[in-house]
Amino acid sequence: MSSRQVVLDTETTGLEVAKGHRVTEIGCIELVDRRKTGRRFHRYLNPGRELDAGAVEVTGLTSEFLADKPPFSAVAAEFLEFVAGAELIIHNAVFDVGFLDQELALCAAPVRRLADCATITDTLALARERFPGKRNSLDALCSRLDIDNRHRTLHGALLDAELLADVWLAMTSGQADLGLATETAGQPTGEGLRVERPGAARGRPRVLVASDEERRLHDAMLERLAQASGRAPWSALAGVADD
């Protein structure tokens, strides 16, 4: 049976759902058998309240732009139909799911929680297992996994969902052969994906070369050590790195 995921992201009027902040944008990308199908769900929403200044700065969305957009209640049925039965791939899922669950409750949708109609996999939790002690924001993961995000000057739900889909595919590559991507009762669960070992990723290892700036900082550090100690124990090797 085909495995279906929906990569999802939202933008909101502010950071705290408990303070009544609302969803302003939803972006979803469909994957079937680890391939983008071209099906998307993307809506801007009128939140019915002002946006925090920080949200405007980060997303570029304004109350004026959103004024003629539909409320969440007008798109709830279409949204639920799109995500129903899928494995939802979300970065920092607690944030997005909290806001969407609030929206579902406010409009008295037949499904009050996303977890009641889909399974949820948090790529932030997966990234923290794969890369402990490192930054695991979407931008950091794009950089680490060689995914081009230079066009991401502002946060946008659909753009971020596109990037997250690429991040997800890169982080989980090779799992099909290991039998970790399992399905239970005909519905993809994603539970197997969470146990992937870092060594499961395939491909040639990346060779990291120091930049000119990193070399300059290295030379400056050697100079400071030499001044502090009166001798330079690595001075004989200082020129080797450029070979």
The residues assigned a catalytic role are 155
The token duo for 228 is 């502090």
DSSP 145: T
Q: How far is CA 73 from CA 1, 152, 180, in A?
A: 33, 29, 37
Q: How far is CA 69 from CA 30, 102, 107, in A?
A: 23, 19, 16
C-alpha to C-alpha distance for 214 and 233, rounded to whole angstroms: 20
C-alpha to C-alpha distance for 166 and 147, rounded to whole angstroms: 7
Phi/psi of residue 174, nearest 5 degrees: 90, -5
